[in-house]
Structure 1
Amino acid sequence: MKYRNIFDTHTHSVNSFDGHHSCKQLCDGIIKNNGIGIAITDHCDIDGMKDDCWSFQDKQFNEVLEAKAEFQQITVLNGVELGQGLFEKELSEKFLSAYDFDFVLGSVHNLKNMEDFYFLDYKQYDIYSLLQQYFNALLDLVKWNQTDSLAHLTYPLRYIVAREKIDVDMSRFNDIIEEIFDTVIKNEKAIELNVSGLSMDMNDTLPNKKYIKKFHDMGGKYVTVGSDSHYFDKVCNNIDKGYDILKECGFDSFTVFEKRQPKLITIE
């Protein structure tokens, strides 16, 4: 690795519906990749899980605590990726207050009463209407101010642009993205630089460098960097490239959250 302080803040264990390895195996992967820490952020898409969120989180939370006790040579943070939190606001707030999380990623994978963007047949939709609804949901999410970092800002582009090869004029959403950034900055929260797309057809980050630079120039201070890995041997993938982007955009540090508080770590 190019840097000596690699820290992966977006990972999924077998406790996620699409995960493949245990929390302890993810920690092994961090060590093998010479990383210094990991946030294990399993999926809780709460609009689909509802009452099942409790049994899932009890199991996941305890497994992370076990990994934290065993792997004391690295920092292990107990996290969650809370999906669609505002669609079940009361339950989400109860859920977040019930667990002593280090780090809460906030994400939107689907619009209300719809499937994940992964499954949509985009020939059946007005792309710009879908994206407007998506960014409206992100704005509502950051105004709610119950999560720590906004995950993969441009998530739908994984499928609309990279997979379906549909051109999108993102300048149509400049105003609302600026409003999202302004809200995040005022709340002293973070956005995520998700580097998973560098290993996919899109060959880009979520969001891309242009938006990271915009966030910096607007006064943004906190950026978490995550691989979004679902495999133990892919943790830390492209985190160094994410740090390259941060430095090119004017950041000299990345952010991790411990006990829900931001901590800046120098990129070196």
Structure 2
Amino acid sequence: MLWDTHMHCRFSGDSDAEPEDMILASISRGLDGICFTDHLDLDYPDEPDAFLLDYPAYHDTIYALRDKYAGRFHINWGIEMGLQPHVASMNAQVAKSYPFDFVIGSSHVVHGTDPYYPRFYEGRREEDGYLEYFESILENIACYQDFDVYGHIDYVVRYGPNKNKNYSYKKFADVIDEILRQLIARGKGIEINTAGFKYGLGHPNPTEEIIKRYRELGGEIITIGADAHKPEHVAYDFAKVPDILKASGFQYYTVFTNRKPKFLKLP
């Protein structure tokens, strides 16, 4: 059985889900455990308070539920940090100040704009927007390393004008390979994020080719998450995950507890 280690609840600015509802959904789907990873996106454009976290309330709520379900279900506590170079020192302070089990570093904002919004593509080709996104990941890795895995590396294609119709790993292989090499050199992992299936891409984020390439380059750390913001999306399309990972050369997946990786055999 699998862990879903990327999920959100009402402590994220884009979710109304009660954390216990997410837990009950996880149990009903036969998961072995979960990790909450609510959003922190400092200096989010236009809405700087949209993705701030009430750390004490978030901590106390999840820890109370962890105690309630102790011995019955594994619940870890984490965070998904939106990375931008100019907030690196503030993110570092947060990571050091709280006892997170798991820290995902993600790119949601690129040079002041979230690719979620169509204005990111105004006046240029879709592929140029994608390239800027990937290059910004390299900027973030150079500035900040206190994370465990980089989240949904090709997040940008979820919201492009044509999504992934004209997108492929090969078009951006040079920059994506450099991202993977930099992560591996720093001992960082990636995730397989099944929300790509939910968004109609037909593939996870990142794609199977990128997951396979990470393994070919020597990457060993891969976590699994559905990026659920509602109970019904917990463990979304997880039935596909073992075969994708095995085809990419993995026999194990990773769960972080106290920021330490544990490698679990794939079913």
TM-score by length of 2: 0.91
What is residue 145 of structure 1 aligned with on the other side?
Answer: 145
Q: Distance in 2 between matches of 1:250 and 1:169?
A: 20
1:68 has 2:69 as partner: no
Q: The residue matched to 2:43 in structure 1 has which SS?
A: helix
Root mean square deviation of aligned Cα: 2.1
Which range is displaced more, 89-98 or 165-174? 165-174
How far 1:43 sits from its partner (Å)? 0.8
How far 1:231 sits from its partner (Å)? 0.9
How far 1:50 sits from its partner (Å)? 6.5
Aligned pair in 2 of structure 1 residues 195, 221: CA closer, same or farther (>3 Å)? Answer: same
Amino acid at match of 2:227: D
How far 1:51 sits from its partner (Å)? 8.1
What is residue 40 of structure 1 aligned with on the other side?
Answer: 36
Summarize deviations over 1:37-93 as a string: whole Å, max 9, x none. Answer: 001001111222878977622221221111111112121111111012433112111
Aligned pair in 2 of structure 1 residues 166, 237: CA closer, same or farther (>3 Å)? Answer: closer
Q: Distance in 1 between matches of 2:98 and 2:104?
A: 14
Q: Confirm or deny: 8 A CA contact 1:47 1:87 kept in the other structure.
A: no
1:102 has 2:101 as partner: yes
Amino acid at match of 1:58: P
Which range is displaced more, 42-51 or 103-112? 42-51
How far 1:153 sits from its partner (Å)? 0.7
How far 1:257 sits from its partner (Å)? 0.8
Aligned pair in 2 of structure 1 residues 60, 119: CA closer, same or farther (>3 Å)? Answer: same
Amino acid at match of 1:212: I
Q: Distance in 2 between matches of 1:140 and 1:42?
A: 23
Summarize deviations over 1:101-137 as a string: whole Å, max 9, x none. Answer: 10001101121222x2111243433333322221122
Q: Confirm or deny: 8 A CA contact 2:41 2:81 kept in the other structure.
A: yes
Amino acid at match of 2:14: D
Amino acid at match of 1:239: F
Which range is displaced more, 52-61 or 171-180? 52-61
How far 1:142 sits from its partner (Å)? 2.9
Q: Distance in 2 between matches of 1:36 and 1:130?
A: 38
Q: Which runs of 5+ in 2 are unaligned?
A: none
Q: The residue matched to 2:31 in structure 1 has which SS?
A: coil
Q: Confirm or deny: 8 A CA contact 1:83 1:106 kept in the other structure.
A: yes
Q: Distance in 2 between matches of 1:161 and 1:239?
A: 27
Q: Distance in 1 between matches of 2:31 and 2:229?
A: 17
How far 1:145 sits from its partner (Å)? 1.5
Aligned pair in 2 of structure 1 residues 239, 161: CA closer, same or farther (>3 Å)? Answer: farther
Aligned pair in 2 of structure 1 residues 146, 84: CA closer, same or farther (>3 Å)? Answer: same
Q: Confirm or deny: 8 A CA contact 2:39 2:51 kept in the other structure.
A: no
What is residue 120 of structure 1 aligned with on the other side?
Answer: 118
Amino acid at match of 1:92: N
What is residue 224 of structure 1 aligned with on the other side?
Answer: 223
Amino acid at match of 1:160: G
Q: Distance in 1 between matches of 2:32 and 2:258?
A: 18
Which range is displaced more, 53-62 or 131-140? 53-62
Q: Confirm or deny: 8 A CA contact 1:162 1:202 kept in the other structure.
A: no
Q: Distance in 1 between matches of 2:212 and 2:161?
A: 21
Deviation >6 Å, runs of 4+:
49-54
TM-score by length of 1: 0.90
Q: Confirm or deny: 8 A CA contact 1:161 1:202 kept in the other structure.
A: no
What is residue 11 of structure 1 aligned with on the other side?
Answer: 7
How far 1:139 sits from its partner (Å)? 1.5
How far 1:212 sits from its partner (Å)? 0.8
Q: Distance in 1 between matches of 2:53 and 2:206?
A: 33
Amino acid at match of 1:153: I
Q: Distance in 1 between matches of 2:168 and 2:25?
A: 38
